[in-house]
């Protein structure tokens, strides 16, 4: 009976949370990487096709490829997430860099 209790009670809950993890919308924008700032976190800076500035919470793994392609048009993928930020002491909505596409190749 205990085996089935897990399936009846906990499995549906796990599936709901798993669905939330994979249902995030990924946004794409054409932009030029123009730099970064580093403090408590890495923040990457892009200039979009429309001329706006887009700041994204960065990804250290992508920094070398971004630096190599500085001021070149690339496709940037990011998500918008609510995350608790300990330094701020609150949950904030942030944009997080997920990947870049350069000449048909995807980097994560």
Judge whether 65 lies within some domain.
yes
**Averaged over 23-36, what is the pLDDT?**
94
**Averaged over 86-104, what is the pLDDT?**
96
pTM score of the predicted model: 0.76
Determine contact, residues 76/100, Cβ cutoff 8 Å.
yes
Judge whether 87 lies within some domain.
yes
> Does position 47 have pLDDT exceeding 90, yes or no?
yes
> Does position 5 have pLDDT exceeding 60, yes or no?
no
Judge whether 12 lies within some domain.
no
Judge whether 33 lies within some domain.
yes
Judge whether 16 lies within some domain.
no
Domain count, the chain: 1
- Domain ranges, residue 75: 26-107
Determine contact, residues 30/50, Cβ cutoff 8 Å.
no
pLDDT at 6: 46
């Amino acid at each position: 009976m205990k085996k089935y209790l897990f399936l009846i009670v906990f499995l549906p809950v796990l599936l709901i949370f798993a669905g939330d993890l994979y249902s995030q919308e990924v946004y794409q924008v054409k932009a030029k990487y123009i730099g970064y700032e580093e403090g408590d976190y890495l923040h990457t800076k892009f200039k979009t096709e429309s001329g706006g500035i887009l700041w994204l919470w960065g990804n250290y793994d992508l920094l070398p490829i971004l630096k190599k392609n500085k001021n070149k048009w690339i496709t940037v993928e990011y998500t918008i997430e609510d995350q608790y930020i300990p330094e701020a002491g609150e949950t904030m909505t942030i944009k997080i860099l997920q990947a870049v596409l350069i000449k048909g190749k995807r980097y994560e």
